[in-house]
Structure formats: C-alpha cells, structure tokens
Amino acid sequence: MSSEDLEKFEAEMELQLYREYRDVVGLFGYVVETERRFYLTNQVDLQPRTTDNGETYFEVTMQDAWVWDMYRPARFVKNVRVVTFKDVNVEEITKSDLEVPPNGQPGAEPGPTP
C-alpha cells in the first residue's frame, strides 16, 4: 500500500466517522472531551481527586457512550472510566446546537417558517 493509498483510506475513514457522528449526536445530551478522546454520552460523572502529594487529577465515568475513534471497531461503549491529570471538558448539548440555520450560515437568525 502506497502512502497515497494510506492517506486516501484514512480520509475515507474519517469521513465515515464524521457521518456516523452526525447520525448519532442527537441521541446524546453531553459531549466529553479528554486529552485522548471525544465522547458523546447521556450520563457523565466528573470527580476531582487529590493525590497524597497534593496533585489534582480527574476521574470521569460515563455509561452508554459513543467514542470518536476511527481505529476502534465498535464505537458504542457500555461503561467508560477515564483518569487524567489533564483538562476535561464537559458540555451539555442543546437541541438548538444541532439545528442547521435556514441559510446554512452559523450564527444566522432563524427565518420565517413557510
């Protein structure tokens, strides 16, 4: 396999992953981003913890999550536990975030409905 073939394969895999994300994002209420992965989930618990020497880390648990990872054969995961010293971002997905503006431009005001 040439490097060009490999690049084409990876581009196709990423496009397929994006399409899957687009299809499932409406099923979830939260986006969780860690240093290594991006998750969609309906249940997330984020707990800050402290080591004996005073360092802070985060323990994140999720149930029934979808993982953004094109090399993973199954992206739906029953239980996820992440322990990290890095930042963790948890955002609630609002349904209006999923709606495409009438003229297709981000930030556009909704137009009248026909």
pLDDT tens digits, one per residue of 20-74 = 999 999 999 999 999 999 999 999 999 999 999 999 999 999 999 999 998 888 8
77: left (phi over 0), alpha (psi -120 to 50) or beta: beta
Share of the chain above pLDDT 70, in %: 83
* Residue ranges covered by each domain of the chain: 3-92
The distance in angstroms from the start CA to the end CA of the chain is 52
- List pLDDT tens digits, range 39-54: 999 999 999 999 999 9
Q: Cα torsion at 21, 34, 77, 49 (round to 10°)?
A: -150
The structure tokens listed for 8 are 């084409």
* Pair of tokens at residue 69: 């990872």
pLDDT band at 113 (very low <50, low <70, confident <90, very high): very low
Closest by Cα among 73, 56, 65, 55 to 32 = 65
pTM: predicted TM-score of the whole model, two decimal places: 0.74
The residue assigned the tokens 């999720």 is 62
